[in-house]
Amino acid sequence: DIQMTQSPSSLSASVGDRVTITCRASQSISSYLNWYQQKPGKAPKLLIYAASSLQSGVPSRFSGSGSGTDFTLTISSLQPEDFATYYCQQSYSTPGFGPGTKVDIK
């Protein structure tokens, strides 16, 4: 099994801040890495696929980078609607999610 870790597990930020979330795989997954956003009581939403490709309809303030074992999700200027939990997911082998990073208001 490929294990996924995320850091930090939570963070507090202000509107307009630049936010970076890190995801690490226990072995190389090439670029088979997706990012999701989940708000309370809602289904997850795909933000980034294949490590750096922006899903249609997702604001350009979201970006992804990385390959191999280390990946980042960056929100360039945090907006009120971005306060949520973010999950990475590898799809290189049997897919699995990271534990999540909760972004809340400072």
Partner 1 sequence: EVQLVQSGAEVKKPGESLKISCKGSGYSFTSYWIGWVRQMPGKGLEWMGIIYPGDSDTRYSPSFQGQVTISADKSISTAYLQWSSLKASDTAMYYCAREGTGSGWPLVYGMDVWGQGTTVTVSS
Q: Please identify, among the stretches 12-20, 37-45, 65-73, 75-83, the one whose residues bind partner 1 according to the rule CB under 8 A.
A: 37-45
Return d(Cα 32, Cα 49) in angstroms, integer: 8
Interacting positions 70-89 with partner 1 (CB under 8 A): 85, 87, 89
Sign, CA torsion 96/99/84/14: negative
- Residue 68 binding partner 1, by CB under 8 A: no
Residue 93 contacts partner 1 per CB under 8 A: yes
DSSP string, 48-96: EETTTEEPTT--TTEEEEEETTEEEEEESS--GGG-SEEEEEE-SSS-E
Of 16, 43, 80, 81, the one binding partner 1 by CB under 8 A = 43
Contact positions with partner 1 (CB under 8 A) in 13-32: 32
Nearer of residues 53 and 77 to partner 1, judged by Cβ: 53
